[in-house]
């Protein structure tokens, strides 16, 4: 039996909320470790991670509001916004990881 698009995409907000908040914590760990090692002024990674943290924070807020919203249409809209911000944050972390891995500090 085929599922409709609404059935396949329903209830992503709790997963986005959980994962984006965890990745937000990861961003804070990266920023803290750069500050502790005194490399915060030598690289651009901290600025990139801060942008990623803001994007994950936006994703977290939108997914939380999507869970709490009663109106189905508004909840779906907020969930879509949270999903796009989440993907953007993942791409930013990919860039940061590549910069660190290839020692392009």
Would you give the DSSP letter of residue 104? -
Report the 10 Å Cβ neighbour count for 80.
14
Average pLDDT over residues 3-14: 60
What tens digit of pLDDT does each residue of 19-44 get?
999 999 999 998 898 889 887 777 78
Query: pTM higher than 0.95, yes or no?
Result: no
What tens digit of pLDDT does each residue of 40-64 get?
777 788 899 999 999 999 999 999 9
């Amino acid at each position: 039996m085929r599922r409709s698009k609404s059935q396949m995409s329903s209830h992503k907000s709790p997963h986005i909320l959980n994962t984006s908040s965890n990745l937000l914590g990861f961003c804070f760990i990266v920023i803290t470790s750069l500050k502790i090692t005194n490399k915060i002024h030598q690289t651009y990674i901290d600025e990139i991670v801060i942008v990623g943290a803001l994007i994950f924070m936006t994703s977290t807020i939108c997914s939380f509001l999507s869970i709490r919203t009663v109106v189905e249409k508004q909840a779906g809209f907020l969930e879509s916004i949270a999903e796009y911000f989440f993907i953007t944050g993942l791409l930013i972390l990919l860039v940061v990881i590549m910069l660190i891995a290839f020692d392009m500090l």
